[in-house]
Amino acid sequence: MDILSRLKAITPHVLTGADTLPYGRDWVGKYETAPLAVVRPRTTGEVSAILALCHETETPVVPMGGNTGLTGATAAEGALVLSLDRMQTIREIRPEARIAVVEAGVILQDLHDTAEDHGLTYPMSFGARGSARIGGTLATNAGGSNVLRYGNTRDLCLGVEVVLADGRVLDLMSELHKDNSGYDLRDLMIGSEGTLGVITAAVLKLYPAPKAHATAMVTTTGLSAALRLLNALQTRTGGMVEAFEYMPRGYMNNLARFRADLTPPLGHDQDHTIFLEIGSTMLRDCTPDDTGQIPLVAHLEETLAALFEEGLVLDAALAQSEAQRNLMWEIREAAAEISTAEKPVVINDLCLPLDRLEAFMDQAETRLRALDPGFKTCPVAHLGDGNIHYTVYPSTPELADPLMEEVEEIVREMGGSFSAEHGIGIAKLSSMERRKNPVALEMMRAVKAAFDPKGILNPGKTLP
Amino acid sequence: MDILSRLKAITPHVLTGADTLPYGRDWVGKYETAPLAVVRPRTTGEVSAILALCHETETPVVPMGGNTGLTGATAAEGALVLSLDRMQTIREIRPEARIAVVEAGVILQDLHDTAEDHGLTYPMSFGARGSARIGGTLATNAGGSNVLRYGNTRDLCLGVEVVLADGRVLDLMSELHKDNSGYDLRDLMIGSEGTLGVITAAVLKLYPAPKAHATAMVTTTGLSAALRLLNALQTRTGGMVEAFEYMPRGYMNNLARFRADLTPPLGHDQDHTIFLEIGSTMLRDCTPDDTGQIPLVAHLEETLAALFEEGLVLDAALAQSEAQRNLMWEIREAAAEISTAEKPVVINDLCLPLDRLEAFMDQAETRLRALDPGFKTCPVAHLGDGNIHYTVYPSTPELADPLMEEVEEIVREMGGSFSAEHGIGIAKLSSMERRKNPVALEMMRAVKAAFDPKGILNPGKTLP
């Protein structure tokens, strides 16, 4: 019996030929592949049977969630796509224990909505939340816009269920906040991009949903002042900062060119603009006073005024309405659009030690200018995480590689990472090879061999 | 040349004979061993040379920090003790980046003091902080009394430096808050109890030190109400709860018997007492008002009053002075003393899903009573973490094992763990064998073989 017939004996949900096309194309449109077939199991048992079959027949398998990744990690030329998109049950929400038990195929937005019904939030959020699936966020250890306050996916996950390469089920579906019974296999699986196992379910943390937000655009004298501002804000608000995003002049230039409809409250002509938001669950913050004002907003106003006195803030505009708040978010969320509107473009997803960001910006300017006097940039940063998307526009396409190389070299020298939140997939394989600690690479290969000795799981990804 | 001479060629700090005695005895006094020798390197390079030598000669090595563990993880019969106690430099404190770079032998209290000098805190804390060393807290993923707010050791660590079994140095000394460049080897090393590598240095997170605390003892109708109280408090304070400790009647009984000098503010005759503390860094909380009162204390008072109205709180006593606060802490910190004052004793370090703690307490009472009608308990819990130290006093020593077995069986049925914060070492090996998920055990063994193929690192620990 051929493999397709054997797959169909496990589940009738097997796609071949033209039906596989949507699964062979990535979201960016960069990787076009022809999968062997697509299988869409409904249960962990079916996933287990499929992997046992692939293991026996040495068939390469590419696990796939919402297929919204940016690194080609789901490219599946000649491989079997194992789509989790039919495993989309939210098994449990336990409000008192503040956990959700979900299958890997649950769409992020669906979990947001369900948590909201309980006055809770699952704080992982990013642009693709309407189609990204939980399994994919776990496989890539996704970041997003609330990492500063709540951490990345790894921090939000208590337990996972994983099917191993040979079909064994590794049940780590713990709900526990403390568990020192052995090696941390959970965190090893999270972020392994489907190369060590297939995540089929997870236990996730929920948080009380903030009942009020205070949002502002602020200008500062530079990155160093911005970092001191962040620390001061965290101290004064008790860690309520949910977003702290940095948009320098290069960003404002592109905003003016490509989204002239979005006028920043403090204007485009600023060297260092910060967009920030704090959120509170506290009654004392969220209950309007006699004049109708939200105390949280007054609190931010006072805090910024004090920081203005200290010279950390040059100017500030607080959102006085939901419309003003939305405008500020739109200015930040226009990043993907305005940074890819120019070509040729080099996209970077860098992370740096927080107190080296300013030095990075200075060195990048100098050293890239030396290579290409006409280069331009449109940087934007999740500043609180040290995560900067340093988009570069070379004068000519031939300079793209040298400029990317130089950026990554500066990052390496400063103890940074060439991959902050998007992962490796195919797109960053060469960076992995050149820049990852060689002993770490050796041990990654040893771990890979231990979990997937036949190398059937997402071959050609993550590990160069 | 024999191994001792070769060790002495690496460092003169090699102890043998009677000099090894302090290293052959554990803190509890349960494990007495005779090490082959003790070597005390000063640098990562020396650790690397030592391990390369041990690898070549297949000499078993037991890494040791402050030797304050409770599970016998540093017992070293016939093995070389690799003590990190001379590597105790705090290499860097970077206040703006909120990180500390430390060597593995730094004593926890020393890091506390140094962080405090910068207005910051390293929030990991427990009784043995005056002698426990950072490397040991990392090797065991230590818990302690502030896990609820700040997480366990794994959550507090950004990067580690590890020497592998064969002497290779795995440099994961990242300061980054986001890094998706490959498998999470850092978290695999943390909590591996020296069986996968020897941690020699780390990058740790620092936090703003709370400037005011509000502390209370509270009585509730039961564990379920206590959990609702915790959630309500977290929501109303915006996550400021630093300690939330549960002391039921059994605890109060032992307190009255063995520490009659400590009178609980609400008396001993209570079924369910909670000790709680909130901490704030916010100026508005910490600046005394016109009457000299700290707003944070008033805030807790109002919050508890509201929860009294909701029926979650039966009675409450707020600490009105530092002396009252200290008394409350002493009552909680008397746990080790009052729970081991009776014999025979079975000590447990359990973790349960938060919303199953009440059911656990009920079932344990019923099922243990069936096995031993005369059994007594002295439970105390880090309730916010689901971590309960359920100390049992059997009527006769022969009943100790059956009672421990029954407790662990209830824990297993409820999805809990037999090891919350102390780890496995030798003490919990049999629990590991009986109760750990068998596929997880298989994969732990595969990981161990990948990192330490000759099995020289802390043999006979962690893995049954």
Domain boundary among A310, A336, A362: A336
Q: Which one-letter amino acid corresponds to residue B339?
A: S
Nearest CA in chain A to B181: A419
Per the CB < 8 Å rule, is A231 touching B208? yes
Of chain A, the percentage scoring pLDDT greater than 70 comes to 100
Residue owning tokens 């419309």: A323
CA distance B295 to A247: 37
Contact status, residue B393 vs residue B345, Cβ threshold 8 Å: yes
Task: Of B209, B189, B183, B175, give the one whose Cα is nearest residue B137.
Answer: B189
pLDDT tens track for B175-196: 999 999 999 999 999 999 999 9
- Nearby residues of B319 by Cβ (< 8 Å), 6 or more positions away: B214, B215, B216, B325, B327, B328
The H or E element that residue A99 is part of is strand A99-103
> What is each CA distance from B174 to A50, A356, B157, B235, in whole angstroms?
38, 13, 10, 33
Domain boundary among B208, B226, B256: B208
What mean pLDDT comes out for the span A33-40?
96
Q: What is the pLDDT of residue A303?
A: 87
The answer to whether residues B46 and B99 belong to one domain is no
Per the CB < 8 Å rule, is A175 touching B451? no
pLDDT tens track for B191-225: 999 999 999 999 999 998 888 999 999 999 999 89
In a domain, B461, yes or no: no
B350 — pLDDT class (breaks 50, 70, 90) = very high
Q: What angle do CA B76, B155, B391 make, to 5 degrees?
A: 60
Q: Provide the sign of the torsion angle of the four alpha carbons B173, B178, B182, B185, taken in this order.
A: positive
3-state SS, residue A62: strand
The H or E element that residue A14 is part of is strand A14-15
Residue owning tokens 């979650």: B312
CA distance B245 to B230: 10
Q: What is the pLDDT of residue B97?
A: 83
CA distance B417 to B411: 6
Q: What is the pLDDT of residue B17?
A: 94
The answer to whether residues B330 and B296 belong to one domain is yes
Per the CB < 8 Å rule, is A424 touching B96? no
* Pairing mode, strands B350-351 and B387-393: antiparallel
Domain boundary among B52, B83, B114: B83
The answer to whether residues B73 and B125 belong to one domain is no
The answer to whether residues B98 and B193 belong to one domain is yes
CA distance A330 to A401: 31
Look up the CATH number of the domain holding residue B103. Answer: 3.30.465.10
Q: DSSP secondary structure string, A129-159? A: GGT-BHHHHHHTT---TTHHHH--HHHHEEE
CA dihedral A224, A230, A231, A234 (to 10 degrees): 180
Q: What is the pLDDT of residue A47?
A: 98
- For residue B187, the chain A residues in CB contact (below 8 A) are 154, 184, 187-188
Strand order of the β-sheet with A387-393 is A315-318, A212-219, A272-280, A241-248, A376-382, A387-393, A350-351
Per the CB < 8 Å rule, is A417 touching B180? yes
A75: closest CA of chain B, how far (Å): 18
Per the CB < 8 Å rule, is A437 touching B239? no
What mean pLDDT comes out for the span A4-31?
92
The answer to whether residues B204 and B242 belong to one domain is no
What mean pLDDT comes out for the span B150-155?
95
A157: closest CA of chain B, how far (Å): 12
Instruction: Tell me how long chain A is.
Output: 464
> What is each CA distance from A453 to A152, B191, B446, in whole angstroms?
29, 25, 11
Q: Which one-letter amino acid corresponds to residue B211?
A: K
Per the CB < 8 Å rule, is B177 touching A437? no
Per the CB < 8 Å rule, is B176 touching A353? yes
When CB atoms are compared, the residue of A168, A184, A451 closest to B190 is A184
pLDDT tens track for A161-213: 999 999 999 999 999 999 999 999 999 999 999 999 999 999 999 998 988 99
pLDDT tens track for A423-457: 999 988 989 999 999 999 999 999 999 999 999 99
Q: Which one-letter amino acid corresponds to residue A432?
A: M
User: What's the mean pLDDT when you consider all of chain A?
Assistant: 94
3-state helix/strand/coil string of chain B: CCHHHHHHHHCCCEECHHHHHHHHECCCCCCECCCCEEECCCCHHHHHHHHHHHHHHCCCEEEECCCCCCCCCCCCCCCEEEECCCCCCEEEEECCCCEEEEECCCEHHHHHHHHHHCCEECCCCCHHHHCCEHHHHHHCCCCCCCHHHHCCHHHHEEEEEEECCCCCEEEECCCCCCCCCCCCHHHHHCCCCCCCCEEEEEEEECEECCCEEEEEEEECCCHHHHHHHHHHHHHHHCCCEEEEEEEEHHHHHHHHHHCCCCCCCCCCCCCEEEEEEEEECCHHHHCCCCCCCCHHHHHHHHHHHHHHHCCCCCEEEECCCHHHHHHHHHHHHCHHHHHCCCCCCECCEEECCHHHHHHHHHHHHHHHHHHCCCCEEEEEEEHHHCEEEEEEECCCHHHHHHHHHHHHHHHHHCCCECECCCCCCCCCHHHHHHHCCHHHHHHHHHHHHHHCCCCCECCCCCCC
CA distance A10 to A49: 7
Q: What is the pLDDT of residue A352?
A: 95
Per the CB < 8 Å rule, is B353 touching A285? no
pLDDT tens track for A281-302: 887 788 888 888 888 898 899 8
Nearest CA in chain A to B227: A96
The answer to whether residues B51 and B98 belong to one domain is no
Of residues B339 and A328, more confidence is placed in A328
Token pair for B217: 């003892």
In a domain, B21, yes or no: yes
CA distance B151 to A54: 40
Per the CB < 8 Å rule, is B176 touching A422? no
Per the CB < 8 Å rule, is B299 touching A285? no
In a domain, B457, yes or no: no
In a domain, B165, yes or no: yes
Look up the CATH number of the domain holding residue B68. Answer: 3.30.43.10
- For residue A351, the chain B residues in CB contact (below 8 A) are 176-179
CA distance A51 to B119: 53
- For residue A285, the chain B residues in CB contact (below 8 A) are 238
| B146: pLDDT strictly greater than 90 | no
The answer to whether residues A216 and A332 belong to one domain is yes
Per the CB < 8 Å rule, is B415 touching A174? yes
CA distance A162 to A267: 50
In a domain, A458, yes or no: no
Q: What is the pLDDT of residue A27?
A: 73
| B30: pLDDT strictly greater than 80 | no
Q: What is the pLDDT of residue B238?
A: 81
- For residue B172, the chain A residues in CB contact (below 8 A) are 437, 440
In a domain, B146, yes or no: yes
| B28: pLDDT strictly greater than 80 | no
CA distance A162 to A186: 9
In a domain, B448, yes or no: no
B396: closest CA of chain A, how far (Å): 29
Token pair for A420: 């902050």
Per the CB < 8 Å rule, is A178 touching B228? no
pLDDT tens track for A391-409: 999 999 999 989 999 999 9
pLDDT tens track for B212-260: 999 999 999 999 899 889 988 888 888 889 999 999 999 999 999 999 9
3-state SS, residue A75: coil
- For residue A416, the chain B residues in CB contact (below 8 A) are 176
> What is each CA distance from A381 to A12, A226, A275, B177, in whole angstroms?
46, 12, 10, 13
Of A284-288, A310-314, A333-337, B55-59, which has the strongest mean pLDDT? B55-59
The answer to whether residues A218 and A193 belong to one domain is no
Q: What is the pLDDT of residue B235?
A: 82
pLDDT tens track for B92-140: 999 888 999 999 999 999 999 999 999 999 999 887 889 999 999 999 9
In a domain, B459, yes or no: no
The answer to whether residues B347 and B415 belong to one domain is yes
For A140, half-sphere exposure in the C-beta direction (CA atoms, 13 angstrom radius) is 30
The answer to whether residues B288 and B354 belong to one domain is no
Least confidently predicted of B56-70, B232-246, B263-277: B232-246
Contact status, residue B39 vs residue B11, Cβ threshold 8 Å: yes
The answer to whether residues B159 and B66 belong to one domain is no
Q: What is the pLDDT of residue A333?
A: 84
| B46: pLDDT strictly greater than 80 | yes
B315: closest CA of chain A, how far (Å): 22
Of residues A4 and B28, more confidence is placed in A4
Neighbouring CB atoms inside 10 A of B7's CB total 26
- For residue B240, the chain A residues in CB contact (below 8 A) are 238
Contact status, residue B365 vs residue B431, Cβ threshold 8 Å: no
When CB atoms are compared, the residue of A180, A228, A387 closest to B420 is A180
The answer to whether residues A115 and A148 belong to one domain is yes
When CB atoms are compared, the residue of A224, A421, A435 closest to B180 is A421
When scoring B173, B178, B234, B412 by the number of chain A Cβ atoms within 10 A, the one with the most, hence best to mutate, is: B178
Token pair for A230: 């962040």
- Nearby residues of A449 by Cβ (< 8 Å), 6 or more positions away: B450
End-to-end CA distance of chain B: 35
Angle between helices B3-10 and B44-57 (to 10 degrees): 160
Task: Of A35, A34, A39, A36, give the one whose Cα is nearest residue A7.
Answer: A39
Q: Count up the domains in chain A and report the number.
A: 4
- For residue B422, the chain A residues in CB contact (below 8 A) are 180
B426 — pLDDT class (breaks 50, 70, 90) = very high
Nearest CA in chain A to B179: A420
Neighbouring CB atoms inside 10 A of A257's CB total 13
Domain span at B406: 342-439
Instruction: Tell me how long chain B is.
Output: 464
Task: Of B414, B398, B399, B417, give the one whose Cα is nearest residue B364.
Answer: B414
Task: Of A283, A106, A342, give the one whose Cα is nearest residue B232.
Answer: A283
- For residue A178, the chain B residues in CB contact (below 8 A) are 143, 147, 152, 351, 382, 385-387, 417, 420-421
What mean pLDDT comes out for the span B382-403?
94
Q: What is the pLDDT of residue A366?
A: 97
- For residue A428, the chain B residues in CB contact (below 8 A) are 181
Look up the CATH number of the domain holding residue A383. Answer: 3.30.70.2740
